[in-house]
Amino acid sequence: MKKFLITSFAFICLLSAPAYSQFTIEQLAPENTIIVTGSDDVGNAFDRVKRTSLWRLWKSKEIQDMTAEVMEEMASNLKTMYEELGVDEDALIPPDGAAGFALNTLTDEETGASHIALFAFADYGENADKFSELIDAFIQKIEEDNDLEFDEEELLGRTVRVIEIPEQMDEDMDEDFGFDDFGGNPFLPDVGAITDQVSVIYYLREGSLFLAASDLDNLRPALEAIDGEEAEVLGNREDFHEARNQLGEVDGYGLILTRDFGDLMAAVDESGMIQMMIGESVEALIGKIGALGYGYHMDGRTAMLEQTMTIYMPEGKGGIFALMDMETPRSDLPSFVGTDAISYTSVNFKFDGVLEFIRNVINSNPMLAMQFGPQMPAIEEFINGFCNPLGSRMHLVGTIRRPIEADSMNTVVAIECRNQEQFEEFIVESGSALGMEPRDFLGHRIYVMDQLGQGMGMALPSISLGIGGGFLFLGTSVGVEQALRTTGQKHLAGLADDEEYQRAISALADGLQVGWGYSDYLTSLEVTRQVARKTMKESIEQMEEFDPEMAAEMKEELEEAGNVLDKLDVKLLKRFLGPSSWSVRSTDRGFVMTTLLLDASDAD
């Protein structure tokens, strides 16, 4: 119940914000915030959603009919809640301004141990009194239901309500919501520990502002900022602003700031196993990351939905990301990207730096060095043999073959190969050890790796490696054969001739890029559904020979899954939603990825 109450309280606060908020989350959240989410104007963001075909899809008769039962149940539950609380039925008003949430840690002065602390705020503007009635009624109900009377504390001249979460209400909700399932593995952080460490909510209203925190001290910076005093808040930090600026114009965002991440790990990783096992290798593996960020913007300049993800690396790229720090202009599609392609990705990667990267990772951890050190000569020989002939451009192509069968979807990775002869010498020497069997195909060489699935005891599709046309191809055998069949034939029609592809790619910004891509994700969804059904039916037919009872159970599960999938009408989605495209660019301090989701070209 504790988690439910915390979540409910935070949710209500986040749904409560005015159109012209005086404060934003970074002006109020503690300076040592580790995770922050916020929107400077939730109401405006909601208005932007209503201008998109995504909203028109939601309001379509088909979706309204599909969700009618669920929505009616939600409306009934809300009405019951309003009646029990004794408030007006419009008390929970849609958001209309700034709101935010932050997670940080505080240190116990006596023990020196770190614990998790939370902070949330919302500015409710002219509707503050109505919202205050809802919050007060919510608190009063908790008191009445549990025969409690909450205390009050004084902080900087304000009265703060101390809402203690009744422990006896916790166990049943833990079981119902599955929070206890997160713990028990010494190599994984106990996610449930985040709310386990929250036993009290400190709440107050300050004019139109509503603030809540898990510790009284977590309210102090916000109140000092409200009073116009110098306060230790998140907005004082350069890393926050630089990471936030990399996201650009967004309606809402989230950031994970790593400066104090060690304190968070100490709070949730009581055994210390995670930090001991991987802590020393993380920087060698991924470099020194200052922040990870996500933002979204609806009804944007070029797309219905613009999503931005950022990796902020203030000391430059390191680890695996250093191998991706290479920008080139967008180029024409290779000839093997045909009309059957439903997705395409182009990424730059420095294969000539792979060996040094692996050395650094192994040497960063004494346990890894002890285990792999003696094997380094063999590792170096293999990596040099594989990587030295390769270039720096990779392509990933997803295709479909009709009529739809179990093997209709194929994926092929194509890597620029500057020295095919040298690479083939490497494959001849090492291929037998990997279970590769060579065969000729239209003047090219294909190495089949069917033994891979057999060795794993799994029924995997045939996998092949092909060499030809200046590329190394790796993927399903059908896909590799098709790629080799069309490589170099530039006169063939391809994905580049597709109007939807051109529309999606044209929406991307011009300039140098680390990578870029396109996806007809709705067709992919539709075909994936059909392939899954055919594959499952084939598995059932095979199972009937060995275990009819198990086959019957699988058939029943397939029918249940089919009923759910049938409700997802891809043709309906295609009336409103268009293709997707994305690009990644490198900055002086990290990477920025932009993903665009377009409206359907003829959206209603």
Closest CA to 424 of 449, 455, 389, 459: 389
Task: Please state, in angstroms and rounded to a whole number, the distance separating the CA atoms of residues 267 and 232.
Answer: 22
Blockwise average pLDDT, block size 10, the chain, 604 residues: 49 43 89 96 89 94 91 92 89 78 88 87 87 90 86 94 74 49 47 65 93 95 96 97 96 95 70 56 89 96 95 95 96 93 97 95 87 90 95 96 85 95 89 76 86 50 89 93 87 92 96 97 90 77 77 72 66 94 96 96 68
Task: Please state, in angstroms and rounded to a whole number, the distance separating the CA atoms of residues 182 and 3.
Answer: 13
Handedness of CA 244, 246, 248, 252 (dihedral sign): negative
Cα–Cα–Cα angle for 318, 322, 327, rounded to 5 degrees: 145
| pLDDT at residue 232 in the model | 97
| pLDDT at residue 131 in the model | 87
Which residues, other chains included, contact 122 with Cβ-Cβ below 8 Å and sequence gap of 6+?
13, 14, 15, 16, 17, 95, 97, 98, 99, 100, 209, 210
Cβ-contact 232, 11 below 8 angstroms: no
Cβ-contact 247, 240 below 8 angstroms: no
Closest CA to 114 of 212, 191, 194, 26: 194
DSSP structure class, residue 60: S
Task: Please state, in angstroms and rounded to a whole number, the distance separating the CA atoms of residues 135 and 93.
Answer: 13
Closest CA to 283 of 357, 375, 371, 354: 357
Cα–Cα–Cα angle for 122, 123, 125, rounded to 5 degrees: 150
DSSP structure class, residue 91: -
Handedness of CA 495, 500, 503, 508 (dihedral sign): negative
| pLDDT at residue 600 in the model | 93
Tell me the residue type at 376.
M
Instruction: Judge if pTM exceeds 0.95.
Output: no
DSSP structure class, residue 401: -
Q: List residues bridging with 292 in a β-sheet.
A: 256, 311
Instruction: Sort strands 444-448 and 463-468 into parallel, antiparallel or unpaired.
Output: antiparallel
Closest CA to 219 of 28, 60, 410: 28
User: CA torsion 38→41→47→49, rounded to 10°?
Assistant: -20
Cβ-contact 208, 124 below 8 angstroms: yes
Task: Please state, in angstroms and rounded to a whole number, the distance separating the CA atoms of residues 361 and 359.
Answer: 6
- Helices and strands in the chain: count of H runs, count of E runs: 22, 20
Tell me the residue type at 197.
Q
Q: What one-character-per-residue DSSP string does 320-387 give?
A: GGGGG---B---PPPTTSBTTEEEEEEEE--GGGHHHHHHHHHHTSHHHHHHHGGGHHHHHHHHHHHH
Q: Quick one: residue 241, left, alpha or beta (phi over 0 = left, psi -120 to 50 = alpha)?
A: alpha
Q: What one-character-per-residue DSSP string does 263-323 give?
A: HHHHHH-TT-HHHHHHHHHHHHHH----EEEEEEEES-SS-SEEEEEEEE-TT---GGGGG
Task: Please state, in angstroms and rounded to a whole number, the distance separating the CA atoms of residues 436 and 456.
Answer: 15
Query: For residue 363, which phi and psi values (nearest 5 degrees)?
Result: -75, -15
